[in-house]
Amino acid sequence: MGIKITIKETGRIREISCHSGETILNALIRNDIYVSAACGGKGKCGKCKIQLLKGTLPVTGPDRKKLKPEELEQGYRLSCLAVPEEDCTIRLCVQKDEEFDILSEEVENQMTEESSYAIAIDIGTTTLAMVLVGLDSGKTLKSYSAINRQRAYGADVISRIQASNDGKKEELQASIREDLQNGVRALMEMGGLQPEQIKKITIGGNTTMGHLLMGFSCKNLGVYPFHPVDIGTITGSFGEIIGPMENAPDCPVILLPGISTYVGGDILSGLLACGFDESEETALLIDLGTNGEMAIGNKDRILVTSTAAGPAFEGGNISCGMGSVAGAICNVDLSGGQVHVRTIGDKKPVGLCGTGVVETVSELVKEEYVDETGRLEDPYFQEGFELAKTPEGRPITFTQKDVREIQLAKSAVRAGIETLLKRFGVSYSEIGHVYLAGGFGFHMDQKKAVSIGLLPAALEDRLETVGNSSLAGAIRYLVDETAPRRAEHILQAASEVELSTDNAFNEFYMEYMYFEE
In 3D space, the residue among 128, 175, 132 whose CA is nearest the CA of residue 147 turns out to be 128
Per-residue pLDDT at 215 exceeds 80: yes
- Contact by Cβ (8 Å): 40, 162: yes
How do 395-398 and 292-297 pair as beta strands?
Answer: unpaired
Cite the DSSP H helix spans in 274-384.
354-366, 380-383
Q: CA-based diameter of the chain, in Å?
A: 68
Q: Is pLDDT larger for residue 33 or for residue 116?
A: 116
pLDDT of 324 strictly over 80: no
- Report the C-alpha gap between 357 and 372 in whole angstroms: 17
Structure confidence at residue 98 (pLDDT):
52
Mean local confidence (pLDDT), 428-448: 89
What pLDDT does 97 receive?
40
Provide the 3-class DSSP secondary structure of residue 139.
coil
Comparing CA positions, the residue from 322, 364, 420, 415 lying closest to residue 101 is 322
Helices (H), 396-494: 400-424, 438-443, 446-451, 469-479, 483-493
**pLDDT for the residue 96:** 38
DSSP 59: P
Q: What is the pTM of this model?
A: 0.84
Angle between helices 265-273 and 483-493 (to 10 degrees): 110
Q: Quick one: average pLDDT of 263-271?
A: 95
Phi and psi, residue 350, nearest 5°: -125, -10
Which pLDDT does position 101 carry in this prediction? 55
| Residue 267 confidence class, pLDDT cut points 50, 70, 90 | very high
- Number of C-alpha atoms within 13 angstroms, CB side, residue 470? 34
- The 3-state DSSP class for residue 52 equals strand
Compute the average pLDDT of residues 289-311: 88
Average pLDDT over all residues of the chain:
91
Spatial contact of 112 and 96, defined as CB atoms under 8 Å apart: no
The answer to whether residue 99 scores a pLDDT higher than 60 is no
* DSSP element (H, E) containing 390: none
> Mean pLDDT throughout 270-290?
93
pLDDT, one tens digit per residue, over 348-389 is 999 998 899 999 999 999 999 999 999 999 999 999 999 999
> Rounded to whole angstroms, how far apart are CA atoms 13 and 28?
14
3-state helix, strand, coil in the chain (%, to 5): 35, 25, 40
Which has the minimum average pLDDT: 89-98, 326-335, 494-503? 89-98
Average pLDDT on 158-164 reads 91
Q: According to the model, what pLDDT value does residue 1 have?
A: 59
pLDDT at 438: 81
Residue 292 pLDDT > 50? yes
Task: In whole angstroms, give the CA distance from residue 25 to residue 447.
Answer: 41
Q: Which residues contact 153 (CB under 8 A, 6 or more apart)?
A: 29, 37, 40, 41, 159, 160, 163, 168, 171, 172, 175
* Residue 24 pLDDT greater than 90, yes or no: yes
Element (H, E) at 160: helix 157-163
The arithmetic mean of pLDDT across residues 463-480, rounded, is 94
Q: How long a stretch of residues is the chain?
A: 517
Is pLDDT above 90 for 187?
A: yes
pLDDT confidence of residue 318: 87
Distances (CA, A) of 9 to 3, 344, 352, 432: 19, 26, 26, 54
Q: For residue 125, what pLDDT band results from cuts at 50, 70 and 90?
A: confident
Counting residues of the chain whose pLDDT is more than 90, the rounded percentage is: 72
Print burial letters for 234-262: b (CB count within 10 Å at least 16), e (below 16).
Answer: beeebeebbbebeebbebebbbbbbbbbb
Evaluate the CA torsion angle 9, 13, 15, 21 in order and state its sign. Answer: positive
Read off φ and ψ for residue 353, nearest 5 degrees.
Answer: -90, 180
Specify the amino acid at residue 186: A
DSSP letter, residue 359: H
Sign of the alpha-carbon torsion through 80, 81, 85, 90? negative
Per-residue model confidence as pLDDT tens digits over 53-68? 999 999 999 999 888 8
The whole-number pLDDT of residue 103 equals 56
Please tell me whether residue 308 adopts helix, strand or coil conformation: coil
Range in 19-28, 30-39, 330-339 the model is least confident about: 30-39
Between residues 354 and 40, the one the model is more confident about: 354
Average pLDDT over residues 416-421: 97
pLDDT score, position 127: 86
Q: What pLDDT sits at residue 278?
A: 95
Which residues make beta-bridge pairs with 234?
Answer: 255
pLDDT exceeds 90 at position 285: yes
- What residues contact 209, with CB distance under 8 A and at least 6 apart? 123, 124, 125, 148, 157, 176, 264, 266
What is the sign of the dihedral through the CA atoms of 446, 447, 448 and 454? positive
Select from 299, 295, 260 the least CA-distant residue to 276.
299
Q: Band of the pLDDT at 94, cuts 50, 70, 90? A: low
Q: What is the pLDDT, as a whole number, of residue 397?
A: 95
Please count the other Cβ atoms lying within 10 Å of the Cβ belonging to residue 413.
25
Q: Which positions ≥6 away from 469 have C-beta within 8 Å?
A: 266, 269, 270, 273, 274, 285, 287, 435, 437, 438
pLDDT at residue 141 tops 50: yes
Q: Which amino acid is at 510?
A: M
